Amino acid sequence: MFKKLILSLVIVSTSLLAFNYDLKPKKITDDVWCFLGDLNAPNEKNGGFMSNSCYIKTKNSYVLVDSGSNYLFAEQAYKIMSKIEKLPVSHIIVTHVHDDHWLGNSFYKEKFNSKILGPSLINKEHSVGEKTRMMNILPKNIMLKTKVTKIDDEIVDLRTLIIGEKKIEIIPVGFKAHTSDDLLVFLPKEKVMFTGDVVMNGRVTSNRDGSIVGQIKALDKIDSMKWNHLVAGHGYDTSLNATKEIRKYFTLLKVRILSAIEDEVDAENISKIVTINEFKNLPMFNIFNSRNVFDAFEELEFYEEE
């Protein structure tokens, strides 16, 4: 009996061991570092670290753009950044409603009472105490202490922040793109753009909450701005080519679906006819592409070019 009890305690203790992310920040500019996540779906191997989270260093504090998928990831990211410079996190800017980008807020709110700015959709769709998608996907040893933390300041119009002499612009997309409430973050002096999931590269996006027409329009808006570095919501390419892959994907999707509609292909067969196989070797293609085709068909079925 005693041996069984000891064995049970060992098993429980092992299952609750903290996940080690082994994080390595990528330096984008002298004042910007990003943790770039895995390109696959959230799972026990990547610990839910599959979106990008960035630190902007100001004179007296860090400002974050997206905080990651859980408390533990955020805690370990801050520990790494403290070795670069030990500063508090004064503000967090959340780019959109999907929880893999903001559940890390709970760590920073607890440690620093950081001010959280983001889209109003988060407060509308999520409540304190609820279990979100990531909490249901990942085990307890990864999601320990993670909880929903509300947005303190809902961004609905262009906002310019001056934090420690650092100018930061928060720009609402203004129409449905990846979601109905996406925010861009821009450092005009450094010419660094943070797009959230409006841009992804190196993997296929999910357009389940978005618009193919809006995505292309948002990419036009982003590419019209003068940036030298762009950090996508998912993906490793931060160069001037960072938007090219997703622009090609959505352009092909739109052109081929409109052509199929002209040929009177129906909803039942659209995913067989429109395949976008140029992207078949990218992560998440098998998970998202057919759904993207079907959703885009529904949007474009009665579409008239503006």
DSSP assignment string, the chain: -HHHHHHHHHHHHHHTSPPP----PEEEETTEEEEPPPSS---TTTTT--S-EEEEE-SS-EEEE--BSSHHHHHHHHHHHHHH----EEEEE--SS-GGGBTTHHHHHHHH--EEEE-HHHHHH--TT---HHHHHS-HHHHTT------SEE--S-EEEEETTEEEEEEE--S-SSSSS-EEEEETTTTEEEEEEEEE-SS----TTS-HHHHHHHHHHHHTS--SEEEEEE-S--STTTTHHHHHHHHHHHHHHHHHHHTT--TTTHHHH---GGGTTSTTHHHHHHHHHHHHHHHHTT----
Instruction: Say yes or no to pLDDT of 4 above 50.
Output: no
pTM: 0.93
Name the residue among 236, 245, 240, 216 with its Cα closest to residue 226.
240
Instruction: Say yes or no to pLDDT of 121 above 60.
Output: yes
pLDDT in tens, 22-50: 999 999 999 999 999 999 999 999 999 99
Predicted confidence band of residue 18 (pLDDT cuts 50, 70, 90): confident
Please give the structure tokens belonging to residue 241: 């080519």
Name which residue leads in pLDDT, 13 or 171: 171
Domains in the chain and their CATH numbers? Answer: 25-242 (3.60.15.10)
Q: What does each C-alpha distance from 50 to 112, 126, 160, 233 come to in angstroms? A: 24, 21, 29, 9
Task: Give residue 10's pLDDT.
Answer: 40
Q: What does each C-alpha distance from 215 to 177, 181, 184, 199, 205 come to in angstroms? A: 4, 12, 13, 9, 11
Instruction: Say yes or no to pLDDT of 15 above 60.
Output: no
Predicted confidence band of residue 306 (pLDDT cuts 50, 70, 90): low
pLDDT in tens, 141-194: 999 999 999 999 999 999 999 999 999 999 999 999 999 999 999 999 999 999
